[in-house]
Amino acid sequence: MYSIETKNLVKKFKDKIAVNGVDLMINKGELFALLGTNGAGKTTTIKMLSGLILPTDGEIIIEGMDMKKDTLKIKEILNVSPQETAVAPNLTVKENLEFMAGVYQIENKETKINELIKQFRLNEVLDKKAKTLSGGWQRKLSIALSLINDPHILFLDEPTLGLDVIARKELWKVIEGLKGKITVILTTHYMEEAESLSDRVGIMSDGKLIDVDTAENFIKKTGAKNFEDAFVAVATGGEL
């Protein structure tokens, strides 16, 4: 059984076809990177896969369940750290965790919160208001919050956007720590991020999923000298 499977997934916004017939199969525990230039359809795909917006057409199967019929059950086993970091700016780090634990009605609230504090080394910032944190810490908190319900599947939409190189590498460690434990779908503009973190990469362009493979195979297939060049070759269909 796949973690995520889509068949002919389509999303139209009026005349704009944002996602155009995507067939995707993601394995359990896989770290899957979804790449594509701006406007390729990555965020729209993630929003549909996480049940935030409805597809115009096609099927989404999550752990064997149909998104149309089992929406609530599916939402219990996934979570999202969205492109716009979802922390409450005026709450402290601790309060953010408590708030989210409340939203999800987590049973062993304190245990779970303490586990996340330890996992993400949040101790030093626990009493700081989220808005006073650096971008890197805010994003780390956002990812910690998205793990509060022990999701089987986590969507990370551009988790390292705008972070400096040190904060980015720090976040890579966090993401690497999730590898193999849960299914992670990551979108990014940083090719070295996709290459170093992911098991497989899907390349989108203009709403279509052009190809799915390992970064290594993309380099081999295109004969490019590195993954960035391989990405450009695939995303532009060799039209550069």
Residues that bind ligand ADP (CB under 6 A): 13, 16, 18, 36, 38-44
* Choices 26-34, 43-51, 53-61, 92-100; region in contact with Mg ion by CB under 5 A: 43-51
Which CB sits closer to ligand ADP, 46 or 154? Answer: 46
Least gap, CB of 83 to Mg ion (angstroms): 5
Contact 184, 154 (CB under 8 A): yes
Nearest to residue 209, comparing CAs of 3, 4, 9? Answer: 9
> Least distance from C-beta 208 to ligand ADP, angstroms?
11
Instruction: Please choose, from the candidates 25, 24, 144, 4, the residue with its C-alpha nearest in 3D space to the C-alpha of residue 77.
Output: 4
Sequence-ordered alpha helix ranges (H) in the chain: 42-49, 71-76, 93-103, 109-119, 135-146, 165-176, 191-197, 215-222, 227-235
* Minimum CB distance to Mg ion, residue 110 (Å): 35
Using the minimum distance from each CB to ligand ADP, give the nearer residue, 116 or 186.
186
Interhelix angle 165-176/135-146, nearest 10 degrees: 20
CB closer to Mg ion out of 42 and 152:
42
At closest approach, how far in Å is the CB of 29 from ligand ADP?
24
Query: In this structure, are residues 26 and 155 in contact, taking their beta carbons and an 8 Å threshold?
Result: no
Residue 3 found at the interface with Mg ion (CB under 5 A): no
Nearest to 30 by CA among 170, 213, 224: 213
Q: By beta-carbon distance, which residue lies closest to Mg ion?
A: 43
CA–CA separation, 33 and 202 (whole Å): 6
Q: Considering the rule CB under 5 A, would residue 138 count as an interface residue with Mg ion?
A: no
Q: Which stretch binds Mg ion (CB under 5 A): 35-43, 91-99, 117-125, 192-200?
A: 35-43
CB of 121: closest distance to ligand ADP in angstroms?
30
**Is 43 among the residues that bind Mg ion (CB under 5 A)?**
yes
Residues engaged in binding Mg ion (CB under 5 A): 42-43
